[in-house]
Amino acid sequence: MNVSLEWAIGLKVELTTILDTVITGVVYAYDPITSTVTVVEGNGEIDKPVNLRVIKPAFIRHVNVFGQSERKLTAAGSTSTRVGFEETAYPIGPISLTRLAEKESAVLKEEQKKQSTRGPTGVSTEGQEIFNIVHKTLPTRWYEQSIIVMDEVRIDPPYQLTNCLADNSASSALALVKKIVEGAWKKIETVDSKGG
């Protein structure tokens, strides 16, 4: 069925898709540009969370409209009175631009945090794994191909125990990092020997 469902806005419908899925709800919107219909599933309680389904009319096999008698349908399938968003069961509420900006900022900070833990191009899988394991315990960052831990210890490629360096070789931070790196390599080798 590849027709406009704009006439059904605000009506309770039962849609049967080409995959025989039955969707029951109120038609919330029809977008002629993307040729999609939005259906609000549920029993029509406005104060409860609802499920919105966006469907292309081309994927709808059959439409059963409940409450047709309340509207006069013409032969072409349109109504004699137009229904806009203001008359639908689920009005669109105001959007707080401040809250939206805060949410965007939080998402960007989280993504930057994730990006900061990814090694630069060319870092081996083992190097990234060592970084991830050390990063769980201690403040860690990348500097070129090297891992910097607590701004005191540097782990150079290929990220073995002998590649853990510090200005003070008797540093307790160096001993701790070596212990973590040793455990990380045991874990990596165990995973490799088990095949993945």
pLDDT given at position 95:
80
* CA–CA dist 140, 117 (Å, integer): 8
What percent of the chain clears pLDDT 70, i.e. is strictly above it? 80
* CA–CA dist 129, 166 (Å, integer): 21
Give the single-character DSSP code of 109. H
- For the sheet with 140-143, list strands across it: 140-143, 146-149, 153-155, 164-166
Please give the biggest Cα pair distance in the chain. 89
Confidence tier at 92 by pLDDT (50, 70, 90): low
| Domains contained in the chain, CATH given | 6-87 (2.30.30.100), 116-194 (no CATH)
- Which residue carries 């009005």 as its tokens? 91
* Beta-carbon contacts of residue 114 (< 8 Å; ≥ 6 apart): none
Residue 77 predicted with pLDDT over 70: no
Where is 181: in which H helix or E strand? helix 172-194
* CA–CA dist 129, 119 (Å, integer): 10
Positive or negative CA dihedral for 94, 96, 101, 103? Answer: negative
Confidence tier at 170 by pLDDT (50, 70, 90): confident
* CA–CA dist 42, 54 (Å, integer): 14
Give burial (CB, 10 Å; 0-12/13-18/19+) of 133. middle
Residues facing residue 188 across a β-bridge: none
Count of C-beta atoms within a 10 Å radius of residue 42: 16
41 contacts 24 by C-beta, under 8 angstroms = yes
Residue type, 21: T
pLDDT tens track for 49-75: 778 899 998 898 888 888 654 444 333
Count of C-beta atoms within a 10 Å radius of residue 38: 18
